[in-house]
Chains A and B, each alone.
Chain A
Amino acid sequence: MNADTPRHYTVTELTRRIKQVLEAGFTSVVVVGEISNLKQHSSGHVYFTLKDENSQLSAVLWRSRVQHVAVMPRDGMKVIVSGRITVYEVRGTYQIDVASISPLGAGELQMAFERLKEKLAAEGLFQRDRKKPLPEYPERIGIVTSRTGAVLHDMVHVFRRRFPALTLVLVPVRVQGAGAAEEIARAVRDLNACGTVDVIIVARGGGSLEDLWAFNEEVVARSIFSSRIPVVSAVGHEVDFTIADFVADLRAPTPSAAAEIVVKDRAAVLEILRDFAYTMHESLVSRVAQHREHIGYLLKSHAFNRPVDLLHSHSQHIDELTRSMGAFAAHRFALAASQMKGAGQRLAALDPGMTLKRGYTMVRKDGRIISTASHLRAQDDVTISFHDGDVSSKIL
């Protein structure tokens, strides 16, 4: 280009040049401001102006993003907007193409909280049956928190006291301010991609609703929900509830409490190990005593020459037979008893005593019953039986 003759742009060329420079220079910006002049077009796109005391910035929220923003923009609302700068060539204006809107004031935050909570609940992110159980004895624990501040120190202290046989893998993140939510979400994803820890604790100390806000952001909620590794949330104080708490597999009231919950007390585990050793020893001693007794019995028994397992299988067979016989015999007894009763009645009918009672007599000679007159001769000694006694007689 010749330096003496400045280049003449057409308006379109210059605008295009400005567009290239601006759009390349502001691909990702975060800006704080108050919303004014908000218009929702019939197309569904939302246009507004972001302003502070001295300046203003046009903003456009495309219809496709409306349902994804944390809070619906309203006039007068203080917000943090992230997006990129675009140039609208037709008018020669620039604007921010809104990717996300986060509320800034307490009232707006509360609204955004409720809105996201409702949305994620409807999607099933808080469902009990989606929660993963924590490992009983984690050996490697991922910790997503700030590298500075007391939280990490407090947790390390609890771990060292309770169960020091651990490796803690810290993923340092900012826990508040612009971009904190994205860092926390990325940390959870990285720990999953890396796959070297058994459980993840996402932690932050106490603070205001604004301070804790990163843990109410959708990106954090989704990263926790997608984690293969169980996640414990430990944000703020006991009274503070965040969206992260609802999605996490377990909510701990504070970071120190999370450390207490995640690992067992070493002294208690050592006690269990001692119990185990004792129980094993006792079991074996009594087992050996049993065997000694059993061998003594076998030596004395007639079956000594038989192989022991044959004996076992026989005795088991007998046990089975005895069991099944028990049931069978009971049935047979009942049957036999009823048969006996019938037989008894029939026998009673045949009792000669009953016949004698009706006036008949019975004649015996030499103890044998005489049923025919031709068997008797004169001078035979016979016994005549009545129902109430016998009479000795001689045949004439």
Chain B
Amino acid sequence: MAPKKREQNLPTFEESLKRLEDIVGRLERGDVPLEESLRLYEEGLQLSKACSERLSQAELILKRLSKNADGAFEELDEEEKE
């Protein structure tokens, strides 16, 4: 099976961070209605929490690209050599 580009529908870290930046900017400018501000605040808080967790918990993964007999790509686990 060819490796998937990303887990489906999950935004990348960069996308999440860009969205968060956008929310912070809009809240700072205060040019959105109060209702919307509250909604944005909630979304922003969740994003910042999710991003922090993603950074703090993740462990580095080492893979090796390999082509199988059908010429399809596979990512195999790679042992790190000392």
Given contacts A148-B81, A269-B55, A276-B24, contact A167 B13 (CB under 8 A): no
Given contacts A276-B24, A283-B30, contact A270 B65 (CB under 8 A): no
Chain B stretch 60-82: residues in CB contact (< 8 A) with chain A: 60-65, 67, 73, 75, 78, 80-82
> Do B60 and A164 have beta carbons less than 8 Å apart?
yes
Q: Which residues of B contact A171 (CB under 8 A)?
A: 64-65
With CB as the reference atom, state the residue of chain A lying closest to B56: A270
With CB as the reference atom, state the residue of chain A lying closest to B34: A291
Task: Report how many residues on chain A are interfacial, defined by Cβ distance under 8 Å.
Answer: 46
Q: Which residues of B contact A196 (CB under 8 A)?
A: 3-5, 73, 75
A353 to chain B, nearest CB (A): 65
Docked CA distance A148–B82 (Å):
9
A156 to chain B, nearest CB (A): 6
> Do A273 and B52 have beta carbons less than 8 Å apart?
yes
B75 to chain A, nearest CB (A): 6
Q: Give the size category of B's interface with A.
A: 35 or more
Given contacts A137-B17, A153-B80, A270-B52, contact A169 B23 (CB under 8 A): no
> Do B24 and A164 have beta carbons less than 8 Å apart?
no
Q: Which residues of A contact B63 (CB under 8 A)?
A: 167-170
With CB as the reference atom, state the residue of chain A lying closest to B74: A194
| Cβ contacts A106-126/B at 8 Å (1 or 0 each) | 000000000000000000000
| Cβ contacts B44-67/A at 8 Å (1 or 0 each) | 110010011011101111111101
Judged by a CB distance under 8 angstroms, whether A177 is at the interface is: no
> Do B82 and A165 have beta carbons less than 8 Å apart?
no
> Do A170 and B64 have beta carbons less than 8 Å apart?
yes
| Cβ contacts A136-168/B at 8 Å (1 or 0 each) | 110100100001100011001001100111111
Given contacts A148-B81, A169-B65, contact A279 B28 (CB under 8 A): yes
- Name the one of B56, B58, B73, B81 contacting A190, with C-beta atoms under 8 angstroms: B73
> Do A168 and B51 have beta carbons less than 8 Å apart?
no
With CB as the reference atom, state the residue of chain A lying closest to B2: A194
Q: Which residues of B contact A190 (CB under 8 A)?
A: 65, 67, 73
Which among A137, A147, A190, A283 has the highest number of chain B CB atoms within 10 Å? A283
> Do B34 and A137 have beta carbons less than 8 Å apart?
no
With CB as the reference atom, state the residue of chain A lying closest to B28: A283
Docked CA distance A172–B63 (Å):
11
Judged by a CB distance under 8 angstroms, whether A352 is at the interface is: no
- Name the one of B23, B45, B81 contacting A153, with C-beta atoms under 8 angstroms: B81
Judged by a CB distance under 8 angstroms, whether A68 is at the interface is: no
A167 to chain B, nearest CB (A): 4
> Do A136 and B58 have beta carbons less than 8 Å apart?
no
Judged by a CB distance under 8 angstroms, whether A193 is at the interface is: yes
> Do B28 and A276 have beta carbons less than 8 Å apart?
no
Chain A stretch 200-235: residues in CB contact (< 8 A) with chain B: none
B81 to chain A, nearest CB (A): 7
> Do A166 and B75 have beta carbons less than 8 Å apart?
no
Q: Which residues of A contact B64 (CB under 8 A)?
A: 147, 169-172
With CB as the reference atom, state the residue of chain A lying closest to B26: A283
Q: Provide 5 A-B residue pairs closer than 8 Å at the C-beta atoms, listed in order of the A residue.
A: A137-B17, A139-B13, A168-B62, A190-B73, A287-B34
Which B residues are within 8 Å of any A CB, using their own CB? Answer: 2-5, 12-14, 17, 20-21, 23-24, 27-28, 30, 34, 37-38, 41, 44-45, 48, 51-52, 54-56, 58-65, 67, 73, 75, 78, 80-82
Q: Known A-B contacts: A142-B65, A153-B81, A283-B27. Give 9 more (CB < 8 A).
A: A147-B64, A164-B59, A169-B64, A187-B65, A194-B2, A194-B73, A283-B28, A284-B37, A287-B30
List the 4 shortest-distance A-B pairs measured between CB atoms, nearest first: A165-B58, A283-B27, A137-B14, A194-B73
